Structure 1
């Protein structure tokens, strides 16, 4: 099991990133919450990881904080929730926001996430009440961090990359385009994704 990687961030094309560890490039998929908080390409990075082994692939997921990984692992134990949906949930809200939804029976907020219908939201609330990790000293939320691609990013078309990333999370192309409408001025892919998700959840 690969539990953590420390190396150099080689590339980030949401929702994917590549980390060089002693000459080996590890490709990971990450939530938008983690991606918007990553350092610039070429800088050092340390990520908690979760390895998913399937018959046709070994998939590695990266998380900036152990708490996000803990929640990811709890989510994929819920009936009907796989890694893709778990990442979509973590991309739309951080751990603190998700915990509030569970404790407040907030089905409406959960159904704003791609792939989460009313039944899935209700199942998440019921099952996660027992599985949700309890932290005595929660780490600061990432929602207040400044997003934005930083010098060295390999992005060519931030708007197209942002739309592709949203589609990969489960949003329909037309919905992704609508979420990004008017956000061209945000500049970077990560900043546009963050603004689009915030707009969607506030919707």
Structure 2
């Protein structure tokens, strides 16, 4: 039904409120997607609409790849939207792909609510699908590392995201960002 929503971030907590033309959409996101958002910032979230008997829930993702993995996960019997979101909050897209392709159920069990049996089932049912996903592993981890380092130094997420660019390496990126933020 929806591919994405574009609007201003009004609130960030356990969920995001995205204002689009005067309508505030309550959207649940993974921790990794939340890290890329800041209140007052314009954002584009790729959407998955979950329709249950008693609720309609929006899930938002910073990339199409993250949404695609989420959809693969919830198509696995025993994995609901909450657990799928918890997996994507615990690991980056590249880490999830690596765990599944290398059949590392033991690592996936670090997700709250994920037992060994579910982890093995998830691997079996998504392995063939997930190998086709291009997760841009190097770009994602470099951006995340730079952001995390600057957050640890006391800079706000909004300051960082307004200046963040593509970088070849973490150290050079941190040096450049420190110069921009000073």
Q: Same fold (TM over 0.5)?
A: yes
For residue 2 of structure 1, what is the aligned residue in structure 2? 2
Aligned match for 2:127, one of 126, 129, 141: 129
Q: How far apart are the structure 2 equivalents of 1:115 and 1:6?
A: 32
Shift of 1:130: 2.1
- Structure 1 unpaired stretches of 5+: 153-203
TM-score by length of 1: 0.69
Partner of 1:64: 62
TM-score, normalised to structure 2, is 0.76
Distance 1:51 1:145, change over 3 A: farther
CA deviation after TM superposition for structure 1 residue 129, in Å: 1.1
Higher relative contact order (CA 8 A, sep 6+): 1
Deviates more, 1:105-114 or 1:132-141: 132-141
* Contact 1:70–1:133, Cα closer than 8 Å, also in 2: no
- In 1, Cα distance between equivalents of 2:131 and 2:59: 19
- Counterpart CA distance in 2 for 1:8 and 1:52 is 22
3-state DSSP class of the match of 2:24?
strand
Query: Which structure would you say has the larger Rg?
Result: 2
**Residues 137 and 112 (structure 1 numbering): CA distance in 2 closer, same or farther, change over 3 Å?**
closer
Query: How many matched pairs?
Result: 150
Aligned to 1:156: none
Structure 1 stretches of 4+ with a deviation exceeding 3 A read: 147-152
Instruction: Report how far residue 134 of structure 1 moved.
Output: 0.9
CA–CA distance in structure 1, aligned partners of residues 55 and 109 of structure 2: 30
Cα separation, 1, equivalents of 2:106 and 2:134: 27
> What residue number does 2:96 align with?
98
Please state how far the C-alpha of 1:145 moved relative to its aligned partner: 4.8
What RMSD, in angstroms, separates the aligned Cα atoms of the two structures? 1.9
Q: Distance in 2 between matches of 1:118 and 1:53?
A: 28
